[in-house]
Amino acid sequence: VQLGAGLNKAYTAALRMGKKGQHANVLERARAAAEDYLAHFPPERRGAILLGALASVYGKEDGGADTAVWLAGDSGEAGQYSLAHQTVNALREVGLLYDILMTKEGLVVYPTGLEADGAE
């Protein structure tokens, strides 16, 4: 949770700095700061850090913003997953998010952890 809180702090600090440096706008700078923070950790730890970022916000009485974990990627970055995509994957890995499929009859929640025979 501490490392996740650090991700949120890196994002917020970059927002407060305003438009400085090589980035076109404040939000781009903040996204880059969040991605840079996460890049300092091995890929196998990043999902836990993103979940920690969510927990650090939702676990506080005064709340906060979970914006950092839901950031879309830069359209010019081929082959890299956005923070939002990584967060969705992390939530699926721990069983907190399922696939939602659209059918003619409506939306269907499809548990991703089930085997083909229906047993977990």
Label residue 73 exposed, middle or buried (CB < 10 Å: 0-12, 13-18, 19+). middle
Of 24, 55, 111, the residue nearest 69 (C-alpha): 55
Identify whether the C-beta of residue 117 lies closer than 8 Å to the C-beta of residue 103. no
Stretch 108-113: mean pLDDT, rounded? 65
pLDDT in tens, 38-59: 999 999 999 999 999 999 999 8
- 99 forms beta bridges with 110
Confidence of residue 120 (pLDDT cuts 50, 70, 90): very low
pLDDT at 101 over 70: yes
DSSP H or E run through 76: none
Long-range contacts of 64-68 (CB under 8 A, 24+ apart): 64/8, 65/8, 65/12, 66/8, 67/11, 68/7, 68/8, 68/10, 68/11, 68/12, 68/30, 68/34
pLDDT at residue 25, as a whole number: 86
pLDDT at 99 over 90: no
Amino acid, single-letter form, for residue 29: R
Considering only residues 71 and 108, tell me which one the structure prediction assigns the higher pLDDT. 71
